[in-house]
Amino acid sequence: MTYILGVDPGLATGTALYDLETCKVVKAIEIPRGIKGFKQPFLQLKYVPMWPDREVLVVCEGFTLRSSNKFTADLSGVEIIGWLKGEEECSVFPEPVQHMTITRLRKNKDDYKLSPVTKLMKDAKFPIGKGHNRMALSVAVWYAAMKLKHEPTLRMLKREN
């Protein structure tokens, strides 16, 4: 039994636990204060005694600085990625275009309301807010589909809403 913990790093970091058995989001928490607020909530999500029989795989959205980024000199996401790498908590960092394409969350190209990730969030009654948790779930779903080739997730992504 496996969960995938998706992370959307930043000043406000989105996190989402995706259950491979049920194809549902189990928990979604937005963590404030960048790297300063990240460590303890992350460890509580990953090592929760409530599910000791579960393996928790971690995947985190990558960050590549380029001219098209709306860059405002906040490097919280980069700091969180550095901590995850340094602590060997995560080794997979998909770029936004990779996960947002398959989960239909591309800005100016997709209707977010029709994304299977939005549907998962709403079905589980987790608030979408500014979308950080939804992006974290998108990263987790991408990992299940593209890296694990998880058939139920692939079927969910193919369905039309």
Tell me which CATH code domain 2-62+74-158 carries: 3.30.420.10
The one-letter code for the residue type at 40 is Q
Domains of the chain, residue spans: 2-62+74-158
**Single-letter amino acid, residue 57:** L
Tell me the pLDDT band of 49, cut-offs 50, 70 and 90: low
pLDDT tens readout for residues 75-128: 899 999 999 999 999 999 999 999 999 999 998 899 989 999 999 999 999 988
pLDDT computed for residue 35 by the predictor? 95
Is a pLDDT exceeding 70 seen at residue 73? no
**What per-residue string of b and e applies to 43-60 under the rule 16 or more CB within 10 Å gives b?**
eebbeeeeeeeeeebbbb
Distances (CA, A) of 71 to 78, 100, 130, 131, 153: 12, 19, 17, 18, 33
